[in-house]
Amino acid sequence: MVSGSMKATRVFVILGFFATVCAAVTAGLRVFKMKDKQNMFYATIGLSFVAGLCLLIGFAIFAYETRLDVKLEGMNYGAGFALCVVAWLFSWIHAGLIVVHGRLPDV
């Protein structure tokens, strides 16, 4: 049986994944099809930020719960945890890049 905190970790990481995919879709639409639509601009920024927040909460819960179960001396979180951290960083970098891209003059 999976504990409640691990279910919460799964939920937040899955929500972060779906928000990341939606942010990529809205960014692609904004850059290639709907350049004049400000709502796509704000949706992309919001989705990227929400994705990063969900991933941050997910890996924070996981790190806290595994810290309680295993001694920290020999703990190895693994590649999945590292990739979750990288995805969190990239989603917030993506939000920042979209903000910068939206402020550039159209050529």
**Contact criterion met (CB below 8 Å) for 58 and 9:** yes
What pLDDT sits at residue 22? Answer: 92
| Number of domains the chain contains | 1
pTM of the model: 0.78
Query: What is the predicted pLDDT for the residue at 86?
Result: 86
Tokens of 49: 């930020």
**pLDDT tens, position by position, for the chain (107 residues)?**
767 778 888 889 899 999 989 988 988 888 788 777 788 888 888 999 999 999 899 888 888 877 655 555 666 677 777 788 888 888 888 888 888 877 766 65
Q: Determine phi and psi for 22, rounding to 5 degrees.
A: -65, -35
User: Residue 27's Cα: distance from chain center in Å?
Assistant: 14
Contact by Cβ (8 Å): 27, 44: yes
Instruction: Output the CA angle 53-65-1, nearest 5 degrees.
Output: 105
Output the pLDDT for position 75: 62
- The residue range of the domain holding 65 is 4-103
**What's residue 105's pLDDT?**
61
pLDDT of residue 72: 55
**Which one-letter DSSP state was computed for residue 104?**
S
Amino acid at site 70: V
Q: Which residues of 15-51 are buried (b: 16+ CB within 10 A; e: fewer)?
A: bbbebbebbbebbeebeeeeeeeeebbebbbebbbbb
